[in-house]
């Protein structure tokens, strides 16, 4: 076997401020996670199947049965479909948390985390890389879902700039729930539990919202929860930005979170990221040493 060259000056580690290393190392880990996506296309395929089925099922099965307040009564099922598609976007990006939870639980279960831990890399980079990759992956998911939406009659009415704003909000939201998912994943004893029990919270989060049905018809307590659920403000903000029916009752929302849907969504994301990134980094450092 060939002999190994002696260490030379060329191998001296580069120097950079700590935050720079966190970004650098986070990107290296994110790249690794994105390569995984490419190598296991089944995973992303199946993560697309569910929302696509939801779009088709809600659009064609329930479509006509769900009236949208404020929408043109003649539009009927068409109004619901335009209402629904941004809701499915919101619901789908919320599930970005699932890949963070399961992915981290798998990493912890395998030896790879020991490799990361024995390297002089920035603490937290494993988590930053994971959450970034999981959010970025949602861009592809959103492209496919948007195409499906176009097929069922959903349209962008307010121009490209607003639409980009809506997609940016969705990706920000994906990044946010990815942090919550990462924190959950760090507490899972094994990947199996992670992919079942670790995902339970996402269901009430997405269903107690305006993602699929207008808030108007909900019973009082549920309605209040849904009004303050950031998934609702996210879906509403997207509907506004895309120019789709919002389901706003004639008297208005009369609740701050929905009157300022985009702002409330961004604020929620910032607060949740701050809290859960701190918690997750702390748990990661503890649980792995």
Single out the residue of 17, 41, 73, 120 in contact with another protein (rule: CB under 8 A).
Answer: 120
Is residue 1 within the footprint of another protein (CB under 8 A)? yes
Segment lying near another protein (by CB under 8 A), choices 9-17, 61-69, 135-143, 166-174: 9-17
C-alpha 172/C-alpha 227 separation (Å) is: 20
| Residue 108 vs 235, nearer CB to another protein | 108
Q: Between residues 115 and 157, which has the closer beta carbon with respect to another protein?
A: 115
Check residue 18 for interaction with another protein (CB under 8 A). Answer: no
Segment interacting with another protein (CB under 8 A) among 21-29, 74-82, 176-184, 226-234: 21-29
Q: Is 3 in the site for another protein (CB under 8 A)?
A: yes
Shortest distance (Å) from residue 23 CB to another protein: 12
> Would you say 121 or 238 has its CB closer to another protein?
121
Q: How far is the CB of 148 from another protein (least distance, A)?
A: 28
- Distance in Å, CB of 241 to another protein, minimum: 36
Cα→Cα distances 103→100, 123, 156, Å: 5, 18, 34
User: What is the closest distance, in whole angstroms, from the C-beta atom of residue 139 to another protein in the complex?
Assistant: 20
25 binds another protein (CB under 8 A): yes
Q: Which of residues 171-210 bind another protein (CB under 8 A)?
A: 188-190
**Binding segment (CB under 8 A) for another protein, from list 117-125, 166-174, 232-240, 244-252:** 117-125
Q: Which is nearer to another protein, 40 or 151 (CB)?
A: 40
Which residue do the tokens 């720079």 mark?
20
Least CB distance to another protein at residue 144 (A): 22
* Count of residues that bind another protein according to CB under 8 A: 45
Of these, 23, 70, 75, 109, which contacts another protein (CB under 8 A)? Answer: 109
- SS (HEC) of the chain: CCCCCCCCHHHCCCCCCHHHHHHHHHHHHHHHHHHHHHHCHHHHHHHHHHHHHHHHHHHHHHHHHCCCCCCCHHHCHHHHHHHHHHHHHHHHHHCHHHHHHHHHHHHHHCCHHHHHHCCCCCCCHHHHHHHHHHHHHHHHHHHHHHHHHHHHCCCCCCHHHHHHHHHHHHHHHHHHHHHHHHHHHCCCCCHHHHCCHHHCCHHHHHHCCCCCCCHHHCCHHHHHHHHHCHHHHHHHHHHHHHCCCCCCCCCCCCCHHHHCHHHHHHHHHHHHHHHHHHHHHHHHHHHCC
Question: Is residue 134 part of the contact set for another protein (CB under 8 A)?
Answer: no
The answer to whether 59 and 81 have CB atoms below 8 angstroms apart is yes
Q: Which of 110, 157, 249, 271 binds another protein (CB under 8 A)?
A: 110
Residue ranges in contact with another protein by CB under 8 A: 1-7, 10-14, 16, 21, 24-25, 28-29, 31-32, 35-36, 39-40, 108-121, 125, 188-190, 287-289
């Amino acid at each position: 076997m060939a002999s190994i060259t002696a260490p030379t000056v060329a191998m001296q580690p580069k120097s950079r401020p700590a935050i720079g290393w966190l970004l650098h190392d986070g990107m290296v880990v994110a790249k690794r996670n994105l390569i995984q996506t490419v190598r296991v296309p089944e995973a992303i395929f199946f993560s697309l199947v569910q929302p696509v089925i939801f779009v088709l099922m809600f659009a064609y099965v329930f479509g006509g049965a769900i009236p949208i307040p404020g929408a043109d009564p003649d539009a009927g099922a068409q109004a619901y479909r335009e209402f629904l598609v941004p809701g499915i976007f919101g619901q789908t990006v919320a599930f970005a948390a699932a890949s963070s939870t399961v992915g981290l639980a798998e990493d912890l279960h395998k030896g790879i985390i020991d490799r990361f831990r024995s390297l002089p890399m920035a603490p937290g980079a494993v988590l930053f890389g994971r959450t970034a990759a999981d959010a970025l992956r949602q861009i592809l998911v959103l492209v496919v879902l948007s195409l499906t939406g176009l097929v069922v009659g959903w349209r962008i009415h307010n121009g490209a700039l607003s639409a980009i704003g809506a997609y940016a909000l969705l990706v920000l939201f994906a990044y946010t729930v990815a942090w919550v998912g990462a924190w959950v994943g760090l507490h899972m004893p094994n990947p199996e539990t992670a992919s079942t029990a670790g995902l339970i919270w996402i269901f009430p989060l997405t269903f107690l919202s305006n993602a699929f049905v207008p808030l108007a018809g909900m019973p009082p307590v549920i309605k209040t929860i849904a009004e303050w659920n950031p998934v609702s403000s996210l879906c509403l903000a997207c509907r506004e930005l895309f120019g789709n029916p919002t389901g706003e009752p004639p008297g208005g929302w009369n609740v701050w979170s929905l009157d300022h849907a985009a702002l409330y969504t961004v604020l929620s994301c910032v607060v949740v990221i701050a809290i859960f990134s701190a918690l997750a980094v702390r748990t990661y450092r503890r649980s792995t040493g």
